[in-house]
Amino acid sequence: MPRLRALVAVTVAINRLRIEVEDLLDRIAECHEELRLAAATRARRNPPARWEEVVAANFAVGHWGEELERYRRMLAEVEEELATAYDLRLEFTMLL
């Protein structure tokens, strides 16, 4: 019975991690879009972008680039946890 409980706990953890991966992928997609929009504003030539827009766009590009990297690191960590959880589930399944 303890092995079955452990298997259930690992399966619940896998499901939680899968949801977390999906959320991080959504955040990464949002960051890509914000980064694209900021870069487009920064590069706009016709009509010429105002100085304030260029400064704001430069800041936004830096900000969203940092956010994107942060989310990518978080995703790598969660994917590692997920792989470990799958390995544990396989071990518990083999023990049953």
Q: What is the mean pLDDT of each run of 10 residues along the chain (96 residues)?
A: 79 88 90 85 70 81 88 91 88 77
Res 92: pLDDT: 77
Closest CA to 10 of 94, 64, 63, 86: 86
> pTM for the complete prediction?
0.70
Which ranges constitute the DSSP H helices of 1-96?
2-43, 51-95
Closest CA to 6 of 72, 70, 95: 95
Which fold is adopted by the domain 2-95?
A: Helix Hairpins (1.10.287)
Res 74: pLDDT: 92
Closest CA to 25 of 77, 72, 63, 89: 72
DSSP letter for 50, please. Answer: P
Both tokens of 8, joined, read 């259930």
Cα–Cα dist 78/47, whole Å = 44
Res 73: pLDDT: 92
Res 76: pLDDT: 92
